[in-house]
Structure 1
Amino acid sequence: MFFNTRRFLFSVSVILASAACSPDKPKFNAIDITGADYAKGFTSTDHNGQNRSLSDFKGKIVVLFFGYTQCPDVCPTSMMELAEVKRLLGADAEKLQGIFVTVDPTRDTAELLKAYMTNFDPTFIAFIPTPEQLAVVAKDYKIYYKKVDGKTPTSYTVDHSAGSYVYDTRGNVRLYSRYGSGAKVLAQDIQTLLNTTP
């Protein structure tokens, strides 16, 4: 009896190990956060004045980034990379939706954000949460942002998290892409999601 039990447990461990190493599980360059109980989405006004939520974009891969228009380096670099990702996707380019969430709703007006998005790609959309909404969203998304005073009341900067969240075509959060990973790497992950998500 002891032998049979041990053999059974061994068989179960082999099955579990095989499942864990299954080639069916997609491999990503970014951090795989499939099944995360955070970053599940929110509703906000976009730069066109419409009330939008992530569920509006089901059927597309959504890449969501937090930033602000007066950011000197990280934000424009990230948005340029996302525009390059779209180019690299070729025929699948229309399946990508870039979303920029401002962490500076005081200065980032709808007009300013619309011009900012158009500068990178006219299909990209900016969300403009109120300061109160932003505090809630930042907590849910585990992102950091903090106003840093400048020489004048309006010349402040905002320190903030620099990664991007990636959602599959069903609207489920799947990946966290670190800043600086590069357009080719992100494009590969998006293509993998498109190929493995029904």
Structure 2
Amino acid sequence: MSKNLRILLISALGLLLLAVGFGTWLSLQPPKPTGIVSSETRSSGTALIGGPFSLTDHTGARRSEADLQGRYSLIFFGYTYCPDICPTSLSTITQGLDILAESSEAKAAAVTPIFVSVDPARDTIEALADYVSHFHPSMLGMTGSEAEVAQTAKAYRVFYKKVEQADASDYLMDHSSIIYLMAPDGSYLSHFTHATTAEEIAEGLAQQVDPAQTAGS
């Protein structure tokens, strides 16, 4: 065997051993997460939804996250001029609570439905009072200044945007159509979508709501 061939074989063997050693080292390393880890979740895996807010309800009373403590909340963001999604979602919430009350009045009574306006320019206290009167009797309508609404929407990860219409004097609001179920301690429990039926809301609430966890129980 020539000297050059021996050198080539020794080099190849060295590279092979290096590759095997590197592969073994990699196999012993802990797996790394793939993709982008969202900052929207806590280390426990729960969603970062909810937080401090300051708004005015449809009776003129000031409200904050402290007022939601001790009860479950069903929170939906929308606006009174909404042509379809908002009235449909609020009607579904109302029907869901009514269905739940048929099987458990205590569970239904432990939930407060809340409608937060993303259109404070038009949704005055008076407008909200008239609007929520068409839905569940315990529903709270909430509004505030542009800054207060923006802060609340940010806390609940809600998107909204004013949409001007070229052929109309009015405008629409694009917005998220998620119904959030919040626990008595203000933490996120679950959510429903615009496609969720009243029966599904009632079933979801029946599984999640525990009246024993509410204030005064």
What is the TM-score of this pair, normalised by structure 2? 0.70
**1:83 maps to which residue?**
94
The gaps in structure 2 that reach 5 residues or longer are 1-43
**1:73 maps to which residue?**
84
What is the TM-score of this pair, normalised by structure 1? 0.76
Residue identity (%): 33
The match for 2:130 among 105, 109, 115 is 115
Q: Secondary structure at the match of 1:64?
A: strand
Equivalent pair of 1:34/1:174 in contact (CA under 8 Å): no
Q: Secondary structure at the match of 1:159?
A: strand
Number of residues of Structure 1 aligned to a counterpart in Structure 2: 165
Aligned pairs (5 A) from 1:103-182: 103-150=118-165, 151-153=167-169, 155-182=170-197
Change (3 A) 1:75 1:34: farther
Q: Secondary structure at the match of 1:147?
A: strand
The match for 1:55 among 47, 66, 73 is 66
- Pairwise CA distance, 1:105: 0.3
* Stretch moving more, 170-179 or 98-107: 170-179
The one-letter amino acid paired with 1:73 is: D
Paired with 2:113 and 2:76, the residues of 1 have a C-alpha distance of 8
Paired with 2:196 and 2:83, the residues of 1 have a C-alpha distance of 19
**2:5 maps to which residue?**
none
Higher-Rg structure is 2
1:67-105 CA-partner distances (Å, limit 9, x unpaired): 000101100000000110110111132212011000100
- Pairwise CA distance, 1:196: 9.1
Tell me which stretches of 4 or more aligned residues in structure 1 moved more than 6 Å. none
- Pairwise CA distance, 1:122: 2.5
Paired with 2:212 and 2:61, the residues of 1 have a C-alpha distance of 29
The one-letter amino acid paired with 1:161 is: S
Q: Secondary structure at the match of 1:119?
A: coil
Q: Secondary structure at the match of 1:39?
A: coil
- Pairwise CA distance, 1:34: 7.0
Q: Secondary structure at the match of 1:89?
A: helix
RMSD: 2.0
Q: Which has the higher contact order (CA 8 A, sep 6+)?
A: 1
The gaps in structure 1 that reach 5 residues or longer are 1-32
The one-letter amino acid paired with 2:179 is: S
